[in-house]
Structure formats: C-alpha cells, structure tokens
Amino acid sequence: MEQICFRRFYNFKKGESVMRTTVTIAMIIAINLISASSGIADKMGPRPENLPLLTGEERFEEAIYAPSIPPTIASPGVIVGMTQYDYQSNGSTGNRCAVDSDGGVHFTWMNGISYPSERAVYYNYVDAQGNWLSAVEVSQVNGAGYAQITVTNDNRAAIAYHSSQNPSVENFVTLAIDQFPGFGIFQYFDPPDMLTIQCYWPYLSIDRNDVIHILSAENPPNAGDEQALGYTNSTDGGSTWSAIVPVDTIMTLSQNVVSSPVSDKSAIVYTHPLTYDTQWQNDIYYIESQDGLTWDWRFGKVNVTGYGPPDSLYAYTDLDAIYDNNDNLHIIWNAQWVTSTSVYYKTYLLHFDRDSGVIREISSSQDNWIPGCDFGAWNRPICKMSMAACRNADEGLAAVYTAFDTSDCSAGGYANGEIYMQYSYDAGVTWDPPVNLTNSPTPGCLPGSCESDHWSSAADIIHGGIHIIYVEDRDAGGIPQTEGAVTDNFMRYLAVAGPWCPTGIEDDDNLPVTFSLYQNYPNPFNSQTEIAFNLGYAATVDLSVYDIAGRKIEVLTNGVMEAGNHSVIWDAERFSSGVYFYRLEAGSDSYTRKMTLLK
C-alpha cells in the first residue's frame, strides 16, 4: 500500500471544508479488477436499486415457517437466546457483545419471538466464573429492535435501541442501563431523536469520563432518500442530554461512535456518499473530538479514502472503528469496484489507522460468483465486520466478520455464512490469514436444516479471549427482506482463546483470585439459605440483599473481615416469594448473584 497524503477540498453540497485523504490502492488490486479477463460476467452483476431501510414495523404475513431440525454439523458456541428475526442490523453490525473490567460478558440482540407479530430487545450476561443470568427482555413496547450495547465504567450494561412507531407509548430511541452489573433490571432514558425526520438505529459509546454518546439516523420516507445523521450526549448518566445536532447527510446506515480507553477522545465514523442518488458510492469519513464534548462539525471531517474517478472502488454500508491502548484510531470497512451500471462481486476488507495514515488490505473474497447464490440485501461477500483490541501496551488487534462463498449455498439460493477472524500483532500493519471460526457448511440445505452463521459482533476488549455473538440462522438469507423461511434460530456466544495480549490485564487469569462469591445453598430455598464467599485479602466487606426492583432490603454483613472462607445465613421469613439478588463488595471488587425464595 502507498502512504497517503492530505489536501483540502470543498464540499459544494454541504458547504463544508473537509480534510480529504487521497489513496493509491496496491497495484495488484487494480490489475485484478479492471483487467478484461475471461469470465468477466461472473465477476460482476447489475448495480441494484437503492434498498429500503428496515425499521422492524414491516409485516410479511406470507412468510413460510420451517421448523428447525437437529443439525448434522452444529455451529459452535454457547446458546445465549433465540430469535426468529434473523436480521440484526441493516448496515454496520456495531456492538451487541461487551466485556466489562471484571471479565463479565454482556449480550443484547433483536429477538423475533413470534415472527412477524412480536419483536423485542433481549439481554443476557455471563460472569467471569461462567455463571449465567439467563435471557431477559429489555424493551417495554412490542416492535423494539436494532440494539447496541456497551458498559458503564462501573460495569453495568447500557443498551440503546429503537422502539415501535408509536410515540404516545414510547420514544423512538431508548437507552436502558442496568441497575447493577449483570442484574438485568433496567432504568430507562429518553435521548433526543428528532431532526427533520424521526431518528432510528442508535449506536453508542461511553467514554472514560462516563459521557454517553449516541449516534442515530433519520428514517427517510422512501428507499434511497438521503438522511441526516444525528448526535447527542449525556454527562449525567442519561438524565439530561445535549440538543441533537446534524452531523452530516448520508445514504447508508454505516455510522458508529467510539471512545478511547486512555484519553478523552471520541470519534464518529460513517460512510459519506459521493452523490446523493445511489447507496453504492461512498467514502469513509471520521470526526474526532479531543475531549468528548466539543466537535468541529464544519471543518473537522476527515475523508479517509478519497474514492472517485479515475478509481471505481467504493465503500458500501459496513464499517467498524476502535481506539487501541495507544490512543490510535482504527477503522475497517468493505469496498468493491462499482461502475455506473454494475457492481463487482469481489469484496475487499480494508484497514486504516489514523497515526500511520495508511490503508491496508486485510482480506478479500473470491473473484467469481455463481449466479443463483445470493448473499442477501445489505450484505457483501465480506460484511458485518467488527474489531477487538488489547487493553494494555500490546498492539494486538482482531478483525471478526461474516463471509460467504458460492461453495455453500442453501436450496433457496442464498449463501450460508461463516464467521471468520484475523489477528494482527502489530496494530494492523500485517494480518494473520483468515480463520474460519464456525466452519459449519451445509450446501444444498433445506429450510430448517441450514447452518448460516451471520450478523457477527465482537466485543471491543480482548479479555482472556475474543468474545463474539452471532446468529445461527437455520435458513440462509434475511427473513425481513423476504429471503428464505422463518426459522427458530440460536443466538450463540463464541469465546476464541489464543495467545492474545500477552501482557497486562489479560494475565489476570494467572494471578490469585482476590475473592469469590458462591451460589447460595439451597437454591431455591424456603425461609433460610447460606451464602458463602472467600476473601483473598482482609477488606471492608458489604454483603447485602436486593429485591427485583434493585432496592437494598437487607444488609447481611458490613465491616472489616480477614482473608479466608466466610458464610452468612439469610433468614428470609418476613419476605415474600420471588427472585432476589445478593451483592458482595470487598475493597474495590464487587460481585452479584441471583437466588429464588419459594414459600
């Protein structure tokens, strides 16, 4: 790849001065794609018309239901939950998996409970010892979806999503924050979501100062209409918000907002169209705030790619971004060659980092594509990419994505997805070859028997492994796009162990356990139960019980305790049957478990 250079240009449509990046892609890419070789018809297809953006209100009553049958080759990973709504994002996959500083992993997804009549946002959690919360519904109104997740600095899940098209019942963009880590009992907030048209599809981040950043996009009335990208933030945990401001005008739902773990910086990354008549020709833009609060909307936009004539390589709708522990901003996206009438099937996964200013190729798809095997709307042969980074001085960086090829197609004519991962030990300068993490091909599969692994999303932090959530779709294609049949699909969690991040917090597994909080016994219980815990050091300990609303109802012990094993009996005679939580705080550590009282 060639070193890029910068120059100013004037955006006549928006009237904004924008920093533009001029890029020369490696010569071999150009030769492979623009040469007039045999089989050229298999390398490209007609350029599709602009696609509508799904909101979740669509109803396809004629969709066929196909019961799932036991697979011959099962996709790997722990089952987090279920969904009949296989779709999870129109464009950028964002984050539906997040790792907290204690090693707990939080998940969210769009759950089609009974397609197409019932859809909701769900949450699940597993702690560092492997104890699961079990799936709980987050949303309060039917039709909620397109969820994104992060964690607060005290390890509580924060989930942004859009809800049903009924503003008298609930707002369009909702933020739900768990009351305690892994409790699944949420408090709800109402970020501003109205520009000229109502905003949907929120993406979010929380920076190290607990500023909540939310980025959402207008829902245009017609397919292919331009739409404004809106931004707002909260500095008080969601109680109040800055006025929503238009960031730019876009054509695809590619947006993402990310925050640095080591500085006050945050960045907004998105695809910016060259013209406003097609979704297929976009550049990669970012805007960076040095303090997470002030943004230069007019002069602060950086054009990473500078696509356009004589080039015909363009970004489409998928991207991801992350800050590493060296405060360097990384962006990955997919791109393909586009003409005025056609789109090349071959897709490139590309990487850019701000500090070097260089674009590098991570991977690419097959050159030819067999007619009659489709990867589906809003997808490319490589798509739904996300990144994870080490949270120490190491320069480790992972790219996780969904990929398709024509050797594995369903009977319905849609390609079965697989989840791939590539790793870089040098902050993206070089990348290991792709590794197929799911490897569950089912060519020729009938509805209900496919293993199409799709809509992958990796947690930002590599902590004891790379943490991924994805959909095990039992019939390839996206059912909201009327692709394939309605099936009962697993949401799977895949933790990929490896020699990642050899220093820093990832070595915590080799250190003595500071404390343990054990499951109460018996559980469920009638009137009395024993709660045991172990302290690795003398500390001030608070062990308290909370009801399902998150209210502290009893303090079991509070004071200084010596290192070692301890136990406390909770006499719940005066409390009614139900689910309760007990929380142990010891020094700077805290841990929570669930118990059930039955009388």
- Quickly list DSSP for 542-595: EEEEE-TTS-EEEEEEEEEE-SEEEEEEEE-TTS-SEEEEEEEEETTEEEEEEE
Q: Of the ranges 32-41, 114-123, 373-382, 497-506, which one carries the lowest mean pLDDT score? A: 32-41
Residue 559 has pLDDT above 70, yes or no: yes
CB contact at 8 A, 536 and 514: yes
471: its two tokens: 């959909």
Average of pLDDT values for 392-406? 91
Parallel/antiparallel/unpaired status of strands 461-462 and 452-458: unpaired
What mean pLDDT is predicted for residues 110-123?
A: 87
Model pLDDT, residue 1: 31
Residue 321 has pLDDT above 70, yes or no: yes
Provide the 8-state DSSP code for 65.
B
In the sheet that 173-178 helps form, which strands lie side by side, from edge to edge? Answer: 145-151, 157-162, 173-178, 186-189
Residue 542: count of CB within 10 angstroms of its CB = 16
Q: What is d(CA 247, CA 245) in angstroms, rounded to the nearest whole number?
A: 6
Q: For residues 14-28, give the mean pLDDT.
A: 38
> For the whole model, what pTM was predicted?
0.83
75-96 pLDDT, tens per residue?
Answer: 999 999 999 999 999 899 999 9
How far is residue 126's CA from residue 491's CA, in Å, rounded to a whole number?
Answer: 14
Over residues 284-294, the mean pLDDT reads 97
Q: Give CA–CA dist 543/528, Å, rounded.
A: 16
* Mean pLDDT of the 43-70 span: 79
Which range, 304-313, 458-467, 542-551, is most confident? 458-467
The confidence score (pLDDT) of residue 376 equals: 92
568 DSSP β-pair partners: 531
3-class DSSP state for residue 372?
coil
- Poorest-confidence range of 68-72, 329-333, 435-439, 490-494? 68-72
Q: Does the pLDDT of residue 28 top 50, yes or no?
A: no
- Supply the mean pLDDT for the chain: 87
Q: What confidence score (pLDDT) does residue 69 get?
A: 85
pLDDT at 11 over 60: no
Pairwise pLDDT comparison (509 vs 44), residue with the higher score: 44
Structural domains in the chain, sorted by start: 78-501 (2.120.10.10), 512-597 (2.60.40.1930)
- What pLDDT, in 10s, does the model give residues 326-370? 999 999 999 999 988 899 999 999 999 999 999 999 999 988 888
pLDDT digits (tens, 9 = 90+) for 243-286: 999 999 999 999 999 999 999 999 999 999 999 999 999 999 99
Quote the CA–CA distance of 350 and 319 in Å, as a whole number: 9
Per residue in 188-230, pLDDT tens?
999 999 999 999 999 999 999 999 999 999 999 888 899 999 9
At 599, the pLDDT band (50, 70, 90 cuts) reads confident
What's the pLDDT at 512? 38
* Sequence-ordered list of residues with C-beta below 8 angstroms from that of 294, at least 6 positions apart, any chain: none
> What is the secondary structure of 27-59 as a DSSP string?
HHHHHHHHS--TTHHHHEEEPPPPPPPP-S---
Q: CB 242: neighbour CB atoms within 10 A?
A: 16
For 40, list phi and psi in degrees, rounded to 5.
-60, -30
Question: Is it the case that residue 7 has pLDDT exceeding 50?
Answer: no
Residue 47 pLDDT > 50, yes or no? yes
Which whole number is the average pLDDT over 432-457? 95
pLDDT at res. 589: 72
What is the bridge-based pairing of β-strands 301-303 and 16-22? parallel
513 has a pLDDT exceeding 50 = no
User: Under DSSP, is residue 481 helix (H, G, I), strand (E, B) or coil?
Assistant: helix
Has residue 514 got a pLDDT over 70?
no
The confidence score (pLDDT) of residue 62 equals: 65
